Chains A and B, each alone.
Chain A
Amino acid sequence: MGIEIEQPCVELSNIATSETHGENSPYFAGWKAYDENPYHELTNPSGVIQMGLAENQVSFDLLEKYLEEHSEASTWGKGAPGFRENALFQDYHGLQSFRTAMASFMEQIRGGRAKFDPARVVLTAGATAANELLTFILANPGDALLVPTPYYPGFDRDLRWRTGVNIVPIHCDSSNNFQITLEALEAAYKEAEAMNFKVRGVLITNPSNPLGITIQRSVLEDLFDFVTRKNIHLVSDEIYSGSVFSATEFTSVAEILEARKYKEAERVHIVYSLSKDLGLPGFRVGTIYSYNDKVVTTARRMSSFTLISSQTQHLLASMLSNEEFTQNYIETNRVRLRKRYKMIIEGLRSAGIEYLEGNAGLFCWMNLSPLLEEPTREGELKLWDAVLHEVKLNISPGCSCRCDEPGWFRVCFANMSEQTLEIALKRIRKFMERIRTQKK
């Protein structure tokens, strides 16, 4: 046996070896625990119930029905006459019919209160790609985007990893239901300046993930005035716009712009995706809608790195251009999500758990701070671990969303059957009873 010489592994780039992909955060650890012991009604009834996955599984039947009735959307018809053209189509402008259908769908979601021009729709493989792409376009490495907390954990990777851009938090808290205030905005801007970061824009998610609430119109107006004053961009990720429980409660930034006759609109960009509203995360359908011509052109060129499969564009062009289908889908989906939401808050109420009054999204933002041993991040993670391993529920701890107040958790309700949700709520009730008994 020879001498074993430790050969140094060849180095990869800083980006490749950094932790900025964020995958060692607890958000992802819960996934592991679930993967190792997943709940199944029949085969594993004591397994971990996945409540950390913001998927929309409540309206698949509507999609399946459409596909059954319109097989040409998925199979290019008998003899596949449209197949070759579709297979060859890699134009980064995207299928015209799909862009038009997407613009129309976005209008319908907003009840026709805003108009969308298909020529401004840029297609990307998911909102993950859209957000990263916009960051590449709007900011240089070392610059900063201001993002209200709590925010979707994936942003740490999507906005920062390969772009080298920083996120500076706009601190929001429960004192006013986590709404964004002007003070918080100004403070965040100053904080960025103090760190020598050039602020390039504000990125909001509306409706909010993880809060599950829509941003009030007045706040949007303030935000828009703020970015105009500072001469920076505003990115509004409206990925949950179709998941608002009541048709009238969502105000898109697009409506603000229309009301102002598009003055200063070139600083505004909307991100959308079909992953949540349509429950199709696997199909990788995202879009950037920008009011800035140069951004549209550049984003289009950059989308070469992340085009949507033409097979999928073809399918969805058919589906989304069918207004009978889309109107019915939007309304039915809304009703079902509202029902699910009512279920979960009733369950939480009966368990004595407080939550943020929500009106959108696929999750509830609940307050378990009374249960914390200590009001710290460590206390929160301890509780999270207990919920994961004792109650066997994977929920998302607020710290993974950069929430300033320990004890808040995001719990999803649309990625399982009603029965499973009932079981989860039962487990929560039992857990709370146990705790109360212990305290006595």
Chain B
Amino acid sequence: MKLLSTKATCNSHGQDSSYFLGWEEYEKNPYDEVHNPKGIIQMGLAENQLCFDLLESWLEKNPDAAGFKRDGKSIFRELALFQDYHGMPAFKKAIVDFMAEIRGNKVTFDPNHIVLTAGSTSANETLMFCLAEQGDAFLLPTPYYPGFDRDLKWRTGVEIVPIQCNSSNNFQVTEAALQQAYEEAQKRNLKVKGVLVTNPSNPLGTTMSRGELNLLVDFIKEHGDMHLISDEIYSGTVFSSPGFVSVMEVLKERNELKVSSNEDDNNADRVWDRVHVVYSLSKDLGLPGFRVGAIYSENDDVVSAATKMSSFGLVSSQTQYLLSAMLGDKKFTKLYITENEKRLKRRQRMLVSGLQKAGIGCLESNAGLFCWVDMRHLLSSNTFEAEMDLWKKIVYQVGLNISPGSSCHCTEPGWFRVCFANMSEQTLNLAMKRLTAFVVECTGNGGSAKRNGGLKMKSLTKWVFRLSSRRDGREQEER
């Protein structure tokens, strides 16, 4: 024996994929400006490290928040005992206000409709448990965040059916692709319970257009038993036009929000009942360690079920209190949102121009902590094998850990996600220099890789086939 469950022995956690090789290599040989300048630079980690100074300065000015005090008085006991899965009211209020602020107050959120969870990892899984049975499916546009394979499928038994998007239209979701995905699910005998999108997109770094959002709402209206989940974890990282449009805004425009729906109408569709937003402070605020996620839904049953389920992943009351104070400081949130936007924009520009110098283009982006980079011209052939080859070269020879598109289920080989907000400016510049040197070397000054007969790979064979199972790859952060 020592038999374990099917869940424990299957590979749905996704951690043995060769994708984690890059992680391992980075950890064995991490770049450090002083101690290891030739090491691997981590560009596969979608962290936001640009605004810590703002957080630190706020903490210094407001010592009560982390010191378990309110107006100078200790509330330690109160916090230590607070385990109500309804969440701290002050924190919920602060979070919904923050969400509204991020959306330019074009929509507002009711604190009684928010469910707090230990990160959006937990939020997304919880929604699957609430909305789908084992064996049901959700449609997701590709490319998508690799973690979804684990978060949505592993313990829930739910399937993901991809909505194939491609570069011909900047990877936007089309009606045809949506329909095709739906039919694919039918063919596989899977009951589709809904669509899940990430907006702004990971890994694309783009906001979804109104057209796409309306298309999705139309789709779930047509299929009255389907839900639409919008993971808006990057909503606070939008730094340029066309700006962020939340699915809630679209519902409002269509007069399909709960408040405005009139049951006397023929349009008593209650589509608002089937739209749910996921949020987190891991990206916008750069606090992935604090495990703060949320589900927002106008569907009372979903809120009720999800609230009970949140028992399995509550947010530490210590953290709820700290952040309720921080996000409750409107002067701070205003400053933060503006400054964060500014700094992200600058960084993205740095990365884009650095890539340009290396003769590499990327998808035009206006959000996120990464760019969706086009290296198709560097592939020896238009295949995923060639993409893997290129990726390994970039990890081992160039010393950059970037994320290959195949790990995001992209249908076109040659795309890579490259992060820009998890390092200093100097490190980013160095990364670009290395990349330029590499491209120059392998394309013979401007030629394409294909013309030069592909990239030579000598000693890579050994670990080409090695999987990461030996050492427990720290599956820290893949978003």
Contacts and interface: CB of A to CB of B under 8 A. Distances in A.
Interface stretch (B28-36, B180-188, B233-241, B471-479): B471-479
A125 interface: yes
A9 B268 CA distance: 11
A157 B134 CA distance: 19
Contact of A2 (B47, B266, B317): B266
A115 interface: no
Interface stretch (A13-21, A37-45, A377-385): A13-21
B264 A129 contact: no
A328 interface: no
B322 interface: yes
Contacts of A84: 49, 52, 56
A309 B319 contact: yes
Given A136-B5, A279-B80, A83 B55 contact: yes
Given A9-B273, A83-B56, A282-B81, A136 B474 contact: no
Contacts of A116: none
B67 A74 contact: yes
Given A13-B130, A315-B318, A125 B313 contact: yes
A4 interface: yes
Interface residues of B, number: 84
A36 to B, nearest CB: 15
B316 A311 contact: yes
Contacts of A297: 472
A281 interface: yes
B118 A283 contact: no
B59 A283 contact: no
Contacts of B133: 13-14
Interface in B206-261: 224-225, 227
B311 A57 contact: no
A280 B78 CA distance: 10
A402 interface: no
Of A7, A21, A74, A140, most B-chain CB atoms within 10 Å: A74
A109 interface: no
B74 A64 contact: yes
B273 to A, nearest CB: 6
B17 interface: no
A17 B13 CA distance: 27
A11 interface: yes
A323 to B, nearest CB: 22
A87 B290 contact: yes
Contacts of B81: 55, 57, 279, 281-282
Given A57-B81, A137-B5, A90 B477 contact: yes
A17 B132 CA distance: 11
A60 to B, nearest CB: 5
Interface string B282-310: 10001111110000000101100100110
A309 B118 CA distance: 8
Given A10-B224, A13-B133, A16-B131, A283 B316 contact: yes
B5 A139 contact: yes
B60 interface: yes
Contacts of B301: 9, 12, 16-17
A111 B408 CA distance: 50
B467 interface: no
A305 B15 CA distance: 15
B130 A15 contact: yes
B1 A93 contact: no
Interface stretch (B119-127, B359-367, B390-398, B449-457): B119-127
A295 interface: yes
B79 to A, nearest CB: 6
B15 to A, nearest CB: 6
Interface string A269-306: 00000010001111110000000101101101110111
A126 B83 CA distance: 10
A431 interface: no
Contacts, number: 244
Contact of B317 (A91, A282, A305, A308): A282
Contacts of A309: 118, 289-291, 315-316, 318-319
A87 B287 contact: yes
A215 B263 CA distance: 60
Contacts of A231: 1
A89 B60 contact: no
A159 to B, nearest CB: 12
Contacts of B4: 137-138, 294-295, 298
Contacts of B52: 83-84, 87
Contacts of A16: 129-131, 301-302, 305
B37 interface: no
B66 interface: yes
A300 to B, nearest CB: 7
Interface in B10-69: 13, 15, 47, 49, 52, 55-56, 59-60, 63, 66-68
A112 to B, nearest CB: 27
A200 B6 CA distance: 13
Interface string A138-152: 111101000000000
A136 B288 CA distance: 25
A267 to B, nearest CB: 6
Nearest to A281: B83
B265 interface: yes
B274 to A, nearest CB: 5
A301 B475 contact: yes
A138 to B, nearest CB: 6
B428 to A, nearest CB: 17
A192 to B, nearest CB: 16
Given A294-B4, A300-B472, A312 B316 contact: yes
Contacts of A90: 119, 282, 288-289, 291, 476-477
Contacts of B100: none
Nearest to B474: A91
A305 B305 contact: no
B441 interface: no
Interface in A251-273: 266-267
B325 to A, nearest CB: 13
A301 to B, nearest CB: 5
Contacts of B322: 311
A10 B313 contact: no
B76 interface: yes
Contacts of B106: none
B155 interface: yes
Interface in A86-109: 86-93
B346 interface: no
A60 B309 contact: no
B314 interface: yes
Contacts of B6: 140
Contacts of B132: 13
Contacts of B121: 304-305
Contacts of B317: 282-284
Contacts of A86: 289
Contact of A23 (B59, B66, B227, B308): B308
Contact of A79 (B60, B319, B474): B60
Contact of B268 (A7, A282, A310, A315): A7
Contact of A10 (B77, B155, B227, B476): B227
Contacts of B290: 87, 309-311
A1 interface: yes
B76 A63 contact: yes
Given A12-B301, A12-B302, A16-B129, 15 more contacts: A17-B301, A21-B308, A90-B476, A93-B472, A93-B474, A125-B291, A125-B314, A158-B312, A231-B1, A232-B1, A279-B80, A281-B81, A297-B472, A305-B121, A305-B122
22 contacts: A16-B129, A16-B301, A17-B305, A55-B81, A80-B60, A86-B289, A87-B52, A90-B291, A90-B477, A132-B312, A137-B4, A282-B80, A282-B82, A283-B80, A283-B317, A284-B315, A295-B8, A302-B154, A304-B121, A305-B312, A311-B319, A312-B316
Top 7 closest pairs, chain A to chain B, by CB: A310-B289, A282-B317, A309-B316, A16-B305, A282-B82, A306-B313, A89-B289
